[in-house]
């Protein structure tokens, strides 16, 4: 019982113990098991059960544990959902910050490409972008410069 791996295992073991100690001549041993479980084993193993009500029978202990396990599962589910939300929020914030940092670096690189004589490698070092990204941005700027302007003279 002390070596049961899960709370479900403990409930199953208690079920077998209840069935095995079901005769009147085993009342004393059943009460002794109940006292040991309620006063010693359960509070030591599951500190959240430190305020157990007095119980006189193994069946009561088994029923109480079965109900407690349901409550624990609900709590674990809520905690898991909360953790997932927090992790998702943190991940979203991190991704947003990374995108913002990238956009800022790209804007700086574009300005350096437009208004300086720096080569792509130097701009890549300054902005922490890859040289390939700087070359891509240079290509975009060249394309933008070769496109006809939408601001044609409409005074004619």
Q: Are 31 and 22 in contact (CB under 8 A)?
A: no
- Whether 15 and 74 map to the same domain: the answer is yes
- Whether 14 and 50 map to the same domain: the answer is yes
- Whether 16 and 67 map to the same domain: the answer is yes
- Rounded Cα distance between 19 and 12, Å, is 11
Note the pTM of the prediction, 2 decimals: 0.46
Split into its structural domains, the chain has a count of 2
Structural domain contains residue 43: yes
Q: Are 50 and 38 in contact (CB under 8 A)?
A: no
pLDDT tens sequence across 83-96? 898 999 999 999 99
Cβ-based burial of 106 (10 A; exposed 0-12, middle 13-18, buried ≥19)? middle
Of 57, 82, 107, the last residue of a domain is 82
Q: In the prediction, which pLDDT does 58 show? A: 81
Structural domain contains residue 122: yes
- Sole residue written with tokens 């010693």: 40
- Whether 39 and 70 map to the same domain: the answer is yes
- Owning domain of residue 125: 97-146
Question: What does the block give as tokens for 5?
Answer: 């791996």
- Whether 18 and 73 map to the same domain: the answer is yes
Of 82, 112, 138, the last residue of a domain is 82
pLDDT over threshold 70, residue 154:
no
pLDDT tens sequence across 102-153? 999 999 999 999 999 999 999 999 999 999 999 999 999 888 888 776 555 5
- Whether 56 and 107 map to the same domain: the answer is no
- Whether 102 and 78 map to the same domain: the answer is no
Structural domain contains residue 20: yes
Of 82, 116, 135, the last residue of a domain is 82
């Amino acid at each position: 019982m002390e070596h049961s791996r899960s709370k479900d295992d403990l409930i199953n073991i208690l079920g077998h113990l209840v069935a095995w100690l079901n005769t009147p001549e085993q009342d004393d041993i059943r009460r002794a098991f109940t006292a040991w479980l309620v006063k010693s084993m359960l509070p030591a193993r599951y500190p959240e059960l430190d305020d157990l009500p007095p119980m006189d029978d193994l069946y009561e202990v088994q029923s109480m544990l079965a109900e407690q396990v349901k409550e624990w599962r609900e709590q674990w589910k809520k905690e898991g959902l909360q953790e997932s939300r927090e992790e998702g929020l943190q991940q979203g914030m991190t991704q947003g910050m990374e995108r913002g940092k990238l956009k800022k670096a790209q804007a700086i690189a574009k300005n350096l490409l437009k208004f300086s004589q720096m080569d792509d490698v130097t701009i890549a070092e300054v902005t922490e972008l890859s040289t390939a990204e700087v070359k891509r941005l240079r290509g975009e700027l060249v394309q933008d410069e070769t496109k006809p302007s939408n601001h044609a003279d409409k005074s004619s």
